[in-house]
Amino acid sequence: MGLDPHSDTPVEILHVVLLGFVKYLWRDLVQNQINPEQKELLATRLTSFDVSGLGISPLAGHTLVQYCGSLTGRDFRTIAQVAPFVAYDLVSKDCLETWVALSKLIPLIWQPEIEDINTHCDLLDAEIKNFLMCAIQWNVRWINKPKFHIFLHLPQHVRRFGPAILFATEAFESFNAIIRAKSVHSNRHAPSRDIAKAFAQGNRVRHLLSGGLFNIRTLAQLELPSATGDNTATPSTLFSYNSADWHTAGTESLNLTRGENTATHYLGLDGKDGLKTGCCTADKLPPRPFSSTVSGKVFGPAARWTAQTRFKTCADVHLQNGDKCRIGQFVIAKHGQSNLGGTVTARVEEILQLQGSPSEARGMPDLILIQLATTDESALPYRMPQLKLANQCYLVDFKDILCTVNAPHNCAANSCTTAKTRPVLQERELTGDLRDAVCHNGAPFDLVLNTAQMRDAIHVQKFRIPCDPMDDTTEDVIIEASVRREIDARKVRDAVKAAKASAAAPAKKRSGAAPSHPQRLTAMRESSGARGIQAHTS
């Protein structure tokens, strides 16, 4: 069987989606749809956007707007997750609907784990069609780009190859720097061989310094020449089942990687964050009885704790997925046995440590107070769930909290404005200058669950609001109307050009045709005059 390029080559999501659709829409937004004043407003909103739960650094709004033509895939990942919340009143309704459809679609594409392939692909197919219909309704000329046609084959490739992130080129392109570092000491005569040998040597060193085992007897046999001169030993015959034949590197060698240093960084042996799962930070308040805590005021006296029992409170805790969860952060948590393993959205109200407990000795919390939040209503124009705090609180273990989520303010419904309230830092020192920042109006807890969040999408997507279903008739009506608008617009442009051309023709005729070579005409006139003078003289 040969290679079929149509079915065996999957859709490349980095260049089709991030460096395709997101780049097209963002450049069009910044360069064609907004004026300089709106660009400043867009940059201010980006800088003021709360990125908690997204796992990214605070946004540099001026850079994302000013250099929209020189952004990378990482920048477009960020833009896709926040664009509907910063451009809601800067673009037309059809353009915003296209942005919302694309932002809600991207987490489905980058989801690393799929529970039900049929359900996921059906949802992916519906959301892709919704995005294409929104783009067509906005401007049918978008469909002239081939990536919009290639995109339709993604569900088929996900069924065959698995999650799209598995065949994405982002990881391979980020490996280019490592390959380049390996080729620095090559003489360039056989670079591929030198790079392969360098990787093999690095893999051996990493294995040994990680405490990996090696067989001394096998190595000795490989070094000894055979009696016939032909060493036919195979790895299967050289393998030993005797544990005494296996050894590790010495203590001094292993100590080289105990702490973070140049060697551990080069070999990729650095710890992720150096913190244990569940580690929490105390808030420096003195221990107090349960009745004096927020939990005690919610639930009242607890029979399992005496009046002498003291509790400490913490400011944050590190969840099992690595998120740093602070007080007031919205999270997704398991909701006890009664919900049959279901999940809910909630806000963290308090983190408790029982004084003298084993958890305190390990620096971990004993209980976390959460307040449930409902997601029944849709927040327009984002088409995402609206978070409303309910009068239900629970004490849960930190392992029941699955992840943090991004919950931006509903600025579209509250007409939030900007004011010079953000202090300017120079050389890491506060100055008296102030810059524009978003000032949230209305209810402070009028929040939206950002289902465009790519991090922990497998948990967040359970709360997504599905797109409105479309039948073939509705799609045909949208396509026909968009094509008709484009044809009418072209007729208007052609009529304007024809009117300008007809208006310019009489003026050109009245003035006469200008000589194509005025210098040559002048020379001919002078030459004719000279010949006339000579004839008269003779």
pTM for the whole structure: 0.79
Q: What is the pLDDT of residue 492?
A: 93
Per-residue model confidence as pLDDT tens digits over 465-487: 999 888 889 999 999 999 999 99
DSSP one-letter string for 143-168: GGSTHHHHGGGHHHHHHHH-SGGGG-
Q: What is the pLDDT of residue 16?
A: 94
Bridge partners of 425?
Answer: 430
pLDDT band at residue 185 under the 50/70/90 scheme: confident
Residue 365's pLDDT band (boundaries 50, 70, 90)?
A: very high
Where in the chain do CATH 2.30.30 domains reside?
280-410+446-463
Please check the confidence at residue 368 and state whether its pLDDT lies above 90: yes
Return left, alpha or beta for 173; rule: phi > 0 is left, psi -120 to 50 is alpha, else beta: alpha
pLDDT digits (tens, 9 = 90+) for 253-276: 888 877 778 878 777 776 655 457
Q: Decide if pLDDT at 340 tops 50.
A: no
Q: pLDDT for 428-465, tens place per residue?
A: 888 888 888 999 998 888 999 999 999 999 999 999 99
- For 280-410+446-463, give the CATH class: mainly beta
Predicted confidence (pLDDT) at residue 312 exceeds the cutoff of 50: yes
Least confident of 131-140, 313-322, 393-402, 508-517: 508-517
For the four alpha carbons of 271, 273, 276 and 282, in that order, the dihedral sign comes to positive
Question: How confident is the model over 501-514, as a mean pLDDT?
Answer: 68
pLDDT of 398 above 80: yes
Strand partners, 438: 418
Among 104, 61, 63, residue whose Cα is nearest residue 81:
104
Picking from 1-10, 106-115, 198-207, which range would have the lowest pLDDT averaged per residue?
1-10
Which of 191-205, 232-246, 250-264 is the least confident region?
Answer: 232-246
Cβ neighbours, 10 Å, residue 413: 18
For residues 339 and 190, what is the distance between their CA atoms, to the nearest angstrom? Answer: 62
Cβ neighbours of residue 95 under 8 Å, at least 6 residues apart?
A: 25, 29, 33, 138
The stretch 47-55 carries a mean pLDDT of 94
pLDDT at 516: 52
Mean pLDDT for the chain overall: 85
Q: In the numeric block, which tokens belong to residue 416?
A: 């939030």
Helix count and strand count (H, E) for the chain = 22, 14
Q: Which of 206-220, 365-379, 439-453 has the lowest mean pLDDT?
A: 206-220
